[in-house]
Chains A and B, each alone.
Chain A
Amino acid sequence: MQTRPVIELAEIHKVYRTGEVDVHAVRGVSLDILPGEFVAIMGSSGSGKSTLMNMIGCLDRPTGGKYLLDGIDVSTLDRDQRAVIRNDKIGFIFQGFNLLSRTTAQENVEMPMLYNRHRVSAQEQKERARSSLELVGLGKRADHKPNQLSGGQQQRVAIARALVNKPSLLLADEPTGNLDSQTSIEIMGVFQKLNEAGITIVMVTHELDVARFTKRMVVLRDGKIVTDELVRDRMDAAVELGKLKAAQEAVKLA
Chain B
Amino acid sequence: MSAELSSPTPLAQTAAQALAGVSPEPGVAKPDPIIVADDVVRRFGGMTAVDVRHLEVQRGAITALIGPNGAGKTTLFNLLTGFDKPNSGNWEFNGRRLNGVSAGRVARAGMVRTFQLTKALSRLTVLQNMQLGATKQPGEGFFTSLVKPLWAAREQEITTQAEELLVRFKLDAKSDDFAGSLSGGQRKLLEMARALMAKPELVMLDEPMAGVNPALTQSLLGHIQTVRDEGTTVLFVEHDMQMVRRIADWVVVMAEGKIVAEGPPSAVMENPAVVDAYLGAHHDTDLGDESVMAEGVLEQLEAEEATE
The answer to whether A binds B is no
Interface residues, chain B, CB within 8 Å of chain A?
none
